[in-house]
């Protein structure tokens, strides 16, 4: 199955927004003191969207569903089919996720802790004493959430479908949607589990603290983000089997319903980017609804072939192809831009204007980098190395053409 331009647009624009909003949020001096209960809703939405890492989880499982089902002939999921995805997920959790958390990432992976410990990249650029801050291993991570989904979801699919396969489509869709809804509902229990996890971190109960970093910790709690993975498989399966009618009749209405329920409930609670609260739970319900509408709509447009991506796709497609590389390195470029802002004004971080302009500048820098990288076929990007490894293993990838 070839690349789908509409999905490239979603992921490409999403990573551009991540570059922008991370540069803004993590360079605003008073981010730890923001009282979003008294902040204008547009600013609240801007900040909340900065943590919409679930869009990458759902995208990943949609496109990996195409690969899994194609490898299984569309009717079976043998262990040999799901094993490569599990291995990839483990690499995301233990290798890429750890590098991002300790070396390349932002200074506050855990927004609840509101601490300003820097990763190694930021410390080097700022000329500060190097400190690995190993406690950051116990913070939440978008990359680890993607990895967790790549491990858990294929395993569940294998154990559920290995006997009867995927021939009974109604059963397949019913199971996937039911599991996604149950996980989303039960993720409310995270509100009551979070304090225990914090206690485990403080008492150095390493195993439970690490598991909690995958399942409970902000800003990417796996216990909730696993539902995005099962939604992604359901949407991907419907598109793979050309059940566009089900995307219209089931996924779009569910997405609209979750969005409506989330909005009706979220306004009852004070908004905050910190803490594990009811606001956070209903924010995730809203996200789920938005993502389902977004991806089902994109795939229906791809099927209808009436929407011509044109310039939007030409801009976003290179970002989509190397989104992980951009995500790993966008901290480095924003840290390198900071001294220029300090030369202009020592107080640029005190208001909104300075960080917003830094965000725009970082996006412009990455536009130049990505399009120059494209001319070199994205050589030595994470995706380039990833595809080379899989090519050696005899696995075809549409990430890049080498």
44 located within any domain: no
Same domain, 93 and 242: yes
Q: What is the pLDDT of residues 288-299, one digit of tens each?
A: 999 999 999 999
Residue 106 lies in a domain: no
Q: Within 13 Å and on the Cβ side, how many CA atoms surround 69? A: 23
**Sequential DSSP letters for 81-106:** HHHHHHHHHHHIIIIIHHHIIIIIS-
State which of 283, 307, 331 marks the end of a domain: 307
User: 353 and 213 in one domain?
Assistant: no
CB 123 within 8 A of CB 104: no
* Regions of the chain with pLDDT less than 50: 108-114, 402
Same domain? For 351 and 370 the reply is: yes
What tokens appear for 183 in the block? 């996980």
Hey, CA dihedral for 254, 255, 258, 259, is it positive or negative?
Answer: negative
Using CA atoms, how far residue 54 sits from 101, 142, 289, in Å, is: 18, 8, 11
- For the chain, count helices (H), then strands (E): 18, 0
If asked whether residues 282 and 137 sit together in one domain, one would say: yes
Kindly state whether residues 133 and 223 are assigned to the same domain: yes
pLDDT at 365: 98
Query: Residue 46 falls within a domain, yes or no?
Result: no
Residue pair 333/362 in contact (Cβ under 8 Å)? The answer is: yes
3-state secondary structure of 114: coil
Q: Which of 235, 294, 243 is nearest to 61 (CA)?
A: 235
Assigned token pair, 245 = 């009618």
Residue 42 lies in a domain: no
Question: Residue 196 domain-assigned?
Answer: yes
Domain count, the chain: 2
Q: Which of 279, 242, 262, 289 is nearest to 58 (CA)?
A: 289
197-223 CB burial, b ≥16 within 10 A, e <16: bbebbeeeeeebbbebbbbbbbbbbbb
Q: Say how far apart CA 6 and CA 167 lie, in whole Å.
A: 28
State the pLDDT at residue 252.
97
Place of tokens 């089900």: 246
What b/e sequence results for 168-187 when a residue is b if at least 16 CB atoms lie within 10 Å of its CB, and e otherwise? eeeebbebbbebbbebbeeb
Pair 318, 286 in one domain: no
* Domain end (from 290, 307, 324): 307
| Judgement on whether residues 290 and 379 belong to the same structural domain of the protein | no
- Say whether both 170 and 199 belong to one domain: yes
Domain termination residue (choose one: 289, 307, 325): 307
Same domain for 244 and 363: no
Residues of the domain holding 314: 1-33+309-402
Report DSSP state, residue 72.
Answer: T
Q: How many whole angstroms separate alpha carbon 167 and alpha carbon 300? A: 23
Write the CB contacts of 272 (distance below 8 Å, at least 6 apart in sequence). Answer: 35, 36, 37, 279
pTM: 0.86
Distance of CA 335 to the CA centre of its chain: 22
- What is the pLDDT, as a whole number, of residue 75? 61
301 assigned to some structural domain: yes
Q: Answer yes or no: do 150 and 298 share one domain.
A: yes
391 in a structural domain: yes
Residues 389 and 296 reside in one and the same domain: no
150 in any annotated domain: yes
As a dihedral over the C-alpha atoms of residue 278, residue 280, residue 285, residue 288, rounded to 10 degrees, the angle is: -170
Q: What is the dihedral of CA 335, 340, 345, 351, to 10 degrees?
A: -40
My answer on whether 131 and 208 are in the same domain is yes
DSSP letters of 127-187? TPPP---GGGGGS--HHHHHHHHHHHHHHHHHHHHTTTTT--HHHHHHHHHHHHHHHHHHG
Q: What is the pLDDT of residue 267?
A: 78
């Amino acid at each position: 199955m070839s690349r789908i331009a509409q999905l490239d647009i979603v992921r490409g624009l999403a990573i551009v927004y991540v570059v922008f909003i991370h540069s803004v949020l993590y360079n605003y001096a008073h981010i730890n003191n923001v009282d979003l209960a008294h902040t204008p809703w547009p600013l609240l939405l801007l900040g909340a969207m900065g943590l919409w890492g679930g869009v990458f989880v759902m995208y990943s499982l949609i496109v990996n569903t195409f690969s899994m089902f194609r490898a299984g002939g569309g009717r079976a999921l043998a262990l040999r089919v799901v094993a490569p995805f599990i291995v990839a997920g483990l690499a995301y959790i233990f290798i890429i996720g750890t590098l991002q958390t300790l070396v390349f990432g932002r200074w506050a992976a855990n927004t609840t802790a509101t601490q300003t410990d820097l990763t190694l990249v930021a410390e080097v650029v700022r000329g500060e004493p190097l400190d690995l801050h190993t406690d950051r291993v116990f913070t939440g991570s978008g990359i680890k959430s993607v990895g967790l989904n790549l491990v858990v979801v294929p395993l569940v699919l294998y154990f559920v479908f290995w006997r009867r396969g995927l021939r009974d489509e109604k059963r397949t869709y019913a199971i996937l949607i039911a599991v996604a809804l149950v996980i989303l509902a039960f993720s409310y229990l995270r509100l009551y589990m979070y304090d225990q996890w914090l206690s485990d971190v403080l008492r150095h109960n390493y195993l439970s603290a690490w598991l909690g970093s995958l399942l409970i910790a902000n800003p990417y709690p796996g216990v909730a983000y696993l539902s995005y993975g099962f939604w992604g498989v359901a949407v991907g399966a419907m598109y793979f089997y050309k059940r566009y009618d089900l995307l219209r009749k089931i996924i779009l209405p569910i997405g609209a319903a979750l969005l409506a329920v989330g909005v009706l409930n979220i306004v009852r609670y004070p908004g905050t980017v910190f803490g594990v609260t009811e606001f956070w739970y209903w924010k995730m319900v809203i996200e789920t609804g938005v993502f389902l509408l977004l991806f089902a709509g994109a795939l229906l447009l791809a099927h209808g072939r009436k929407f011509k991506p044109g310039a939007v796709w030409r801009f976003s497609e290179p970002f989509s192809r190397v989104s992980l590389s951009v995500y790993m390195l966008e901290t480095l470029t924003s840290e390198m831009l900071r001294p220029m802002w300090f030369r202009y004004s020592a107080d640029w971080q005190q208001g909104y204007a300075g960080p917003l302009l830094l965000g725009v500048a970082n996006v412009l820098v990455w536009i130049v980098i990505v399009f120059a990288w494209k001319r070199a076929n994205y050589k030595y990007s994470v995706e380039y190395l990833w595809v080379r490894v899989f090519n050696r293993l005899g696995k075809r990838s549409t990430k890049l053409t080498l």
